[in-house]
């Protein structure tokens, strides 16, 4: 019997900065990353379903954000998962700290956990086709790959 997958990839990179708008402008000007209010979305293809898109969110955030709490780190990684309900059950059995309840949005389900050093991790079961509409292929968004 095949064991279920846990993490399937990186879904986002979030980091603290003193001035998110200036940071986004710098990355846009010097590295060509087209940004919006949230940062940038990087489009790619799913390995096991190449006909389907997937996205990675890159977001500079205000340095005093509480979104990473209780972690002391200035960044948080978001990992893509296939079945968040199953994974949270498994992680609970394994004694992993679950920070909150699973939240559902039109673009996916989220939950936060802590690693052994107290770093907050975001798990995301994405609904990628929602982003297909947002990051349409006709835009000149250099962040879409």
Cβ atoms of 42 and 145 within 8 Å: the answer is yes
Q: Return d(Cα 58, Cα 61) in angstroms, integer.
A: 10
What is the C-alpha to C-alpha distance for residues 57 and 13, in angstroms, rounded to an integer?
6
Structure tokens at 5: 């997958």
Task: Tell me the sheet residues that pair with 15.
Answer: 60, 75
Residue 104's DSSP bridge partners are: 109
Phi, psi values for residue 28, rounded to 5°? -65, -50
Q: Where does the pLDDT of residue 139 fall: very low under 50, low under 70, confident under 90, or very high at 90 and above?
A: very low
113 has pLDDT over 90: yes
The predicted-structure confidence for 42-80, as pLDDT tens digits, reads as follows 988 888 888 888 889 999 999 999 999 999 999 999 999
**Predicted pLDDT of residue 145:** 37
Domains in the chain, ordered, with CATH?
A: 7-134 (3.10.180.10)
pTM for the predicted model, two decimal places: 0.85
pLDDT band with cut points at 50, 70 and 90 for residue 2: low
Q: What is the DSSP string of 93-127?
A: HTTPPB-S--EEETTEEEEEEE-TT--EEEEEEE-
């Amino acid at each position: 019997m095949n064991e279920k997958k846990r993490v399937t990839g990186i879904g986002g990179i979030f980091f603290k900065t003193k001035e998110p708008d200036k940071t986004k402008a710098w990355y846009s000007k010097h590295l060509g990353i087209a940004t919006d209010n949230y940062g940038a979305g990087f489009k790619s293809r799913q390995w096991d379903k190449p006909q389907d898109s997937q996205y990675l969110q890159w977001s500079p955030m205000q340095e005093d954000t509480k979104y990473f709490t209780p972690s002391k780190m200035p960044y948080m990684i978001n990992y893509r998962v296939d079945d968040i309900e199953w994974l949270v059950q498994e992680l609970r059995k394994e004694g992993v700290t679950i920070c909150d309840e699973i939240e559902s949005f039109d673009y996916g389900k989220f939950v936060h956990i802590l690693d052994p050093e107290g770093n907050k991790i975001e798990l995301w079961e994405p609904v990628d086709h929602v982003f297909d509409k947002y990051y349409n292929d006709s835009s000149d968004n250099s962040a879409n790959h």
